[in-house]
């Protein structure tokens, strides 16, 4: 991993960029720009969740959309039943985190290997998709919230100021909140990775047997990381549901799961900044392809992805970092990389 974005200076740079975006975007772009940026942010949070568990925990999860969808549904159900949004947001994080912990216990303590883990998580997402799809009709409800089957749950109440359900956030406020949450998740993960826990986690990713012989229980560390990833994905689902006022089973779909993987791969695995950039870039591209009418949208996306893999195989952020690193004196780099085991 190139050291450019590691270290305190790099971190400060990323956060500064985030703050600038938060302040500048509302000034230069209209309401639509903000609303659109908000969904990109929600996807960036989602990409971070997988970027963390995959890039640093070495956990291949092909069904991250399961936690994303659970978060979205938990928020929608709680917001409709409780009126206010504070509990709903907490539940949107807690429910997927708990579910991830359960699933993680089942997998890690069963000592299931990588590829099989991928298949299990994918299967779980497919099951949730099938089950949610078959909940149409008024007999399927939790409290006052009807699950709605394939049609999904429309008109979900938006986030409000704590304690006052009538004070719903405006699109501008919601954009700022989303940016703050994205930066908070990013910061939290960096701190976590710089901590003892993070170092052990990376050590396990590098060599599970060696870590085990040194007295660490890989199963426990992976389980905790997986649950944290589930919670973050749930938060993303909560943001997404708020953004559109809507959640449907497509949140669990195979296409959604695959998209998350692509965010991470394109941005660069083993980084935290990469998945964020990957998510924004892909979402932007997909949006763009629907506004042109000359070529099939899938065709364009496919060509771009293929081009990227062949030309920029290590992901965008590491590639840029490597380019920049050439310019920066080697001595500084050596100093920076020895400071920490974390990547951006």
Partner 1 sequence: MALLGLILFNIINGIAVLVLISIGLAVIYGMMRIINLAHGEFLMLGAYATVLSTNAGVNLWVSILIVSPIVVGLFGLLVERCIIRFLYGRLIDTMLATWGLSLFMIGGITTLFGTTVEGVSAPLGAFNIGPYHASLYSVFSIAVAAAMLGGVWSVLRFTKFGLIVRATMQNPPMAAALGVAPNRIYMLTFALGAALTGLAGGVLAPVAGVAPGMGAAYIAKAFITVIGGGAAIVTGSGLASALFGTIDQIVTFQTTPVIGQVALLIAAIIMIRILPQGITGRFFRRSL
Partner 2 sequence: MVLTRRAILKSSAAVPLAAPFIGSAMAAAPIKVGSLVDLSGPLGTTGQPMLDALKIAVEAHNKAGGLLGRQIDLINYDTQSSIQLYSQYAQALALKDRVDVVLGGITSASREAIRPVFDRYKVLYFYNTFYEGGVCDRDIFCTGTTPAQTVQKLVSYATKTWGKKVYIIAADYNYGHITAKWMTKYTQDDGGTVMATEFFPLDVTNFNATISKIQSEKPDLILSALVGSNHTAFYRQWGAAGMSGKIPIASTTFGIVNEMATLQAKESNGIITAFGYYQELQTPASVAFVDAIHKQFGAGVPYIGEPAACTYEAFNLWAEAVKKSGTVTRMPVIKALDSGLSFDGPTGKVTIDPATQHCIRNVYLAKAVDKKWDVFKTFPNQTPSDTASVCNLIKHPNIDKQFVIDVKTKA
Q: Which of partner 2, partner 1, none has residue 127 at its interface (CB below 5 to 8 Å by kind)? A: partner 1
296 lies in the binding site for partner 1 (CB under 8 A) = yes
Stretch that binds partner 2, among 55-63, 209-217, 245-253, 329-337 (CB under 8 A): 245-253
Q: Which is nearer to partner 2, 146 or 205 (CB)?
A: 146
Q: Which is nearer to partner 1, 237 or 315 (CB)?
A: 315
CB atoms within 10 A of CB 41: 29
Site for partner 1 in 310-329 (CB under 8 A): 310, 313
Piece of 3-11, 186-194, 227-235, 296-304 that binds partner 2 (CB under 8 A): 296-304
> Distance between CA atoms of 25 and 29, rounded to whole angstroms?
6
| 209 contacts partner 1 (rule: CB under 8 A) | no
Residue 126, interface with partner 1 (CB under 8 A)? yes
**Which range of residues in 68-76, 126-134, 192-200, 244-252 is near partner 1 by CB under 8 A?**
126-134
Residues that bind partner 2 (CB under 8 A): 30-33, 35-36, 39, 130, 133-134, 136-138, 146, 148-152, 154-156, 243-246, 248, 250, 255, 286-287, 289-291, 293, 296-298
Residues that bind partner 1 (CB under 8 A): 106-107, 110-113, 115-116, 119-120, 122-124, 126-127, 130-131, 134, 254-255, 258, 261-262, 265-266, 269, 295-306, 308-310, 313
């Amino acid at each position: 991993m190139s050291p450019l974005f590691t270290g305190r200076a790099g971190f400060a740079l990323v956060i500064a960029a985030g703050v600038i975006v938060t302040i500048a975007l509302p000034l230069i772009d209209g309401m639509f720009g903000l609303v659109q940026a908000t969904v990109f942010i929600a996807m960036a949070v989602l990409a971070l969740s997988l970027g963390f568990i995959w890039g640093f925990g070495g956990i291949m999860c092909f069904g991250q959309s399961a936690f994303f969808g659970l978060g979205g549904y938990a928020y929608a159900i709680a917001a409709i039943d409780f009126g206010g949004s504070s509990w709903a947001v907490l539940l949107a994080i807690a429910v997927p985190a708990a579910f991830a912990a359960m699933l993680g216990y089942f997998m890690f303590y069963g000592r299931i290997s990588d590829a099989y883990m991928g298949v299990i998580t994918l299967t779980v997402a497919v099951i949730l998709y099938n089950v949610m799809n078959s909940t149409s009709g008024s007999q399927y409800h939790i409290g006052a919230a009807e699950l709605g089957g394939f049609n999904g749950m429309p008109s979900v109440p938006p986030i409000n100021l704590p304690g006052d359900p009538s004070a719903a956030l405006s699109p501008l406020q919601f954009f700022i909140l989303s940016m703050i949450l994205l930066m908070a998740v990013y910061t939290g993960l960096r701190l976590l990775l710089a901590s003892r826990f993070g170092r052990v986690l990376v050590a396990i990713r590098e060599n599970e047997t060696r870590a085990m012989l040194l007295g660490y229980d890989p199963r426990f560390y992976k389980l905790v990381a997986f649950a944290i990833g589930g919670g973050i994905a749930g938060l993303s689902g909560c943001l997404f549901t708020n953004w559109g006022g809507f959640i449907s089973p497509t949140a669990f779909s195979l296409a959604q799961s695959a998209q998350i993987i692509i965010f991470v791969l394109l941005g660069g695995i083993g980084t935290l900044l990469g998945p964020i950039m990957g998510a924004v870039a892909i979402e932007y591209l997909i949006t763009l392809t629907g506004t042109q009418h000359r070529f099939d949208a899938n065709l364009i996306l496919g060509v771009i992805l293929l081009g990227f893999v062949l030309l920029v195989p290590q992901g965008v952020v590491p590639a840029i970092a490597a380019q920049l690193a050439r310019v920066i004196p080697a001595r500084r780099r050596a100093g920076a990389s020895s400071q920490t085991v974390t990547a951006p």
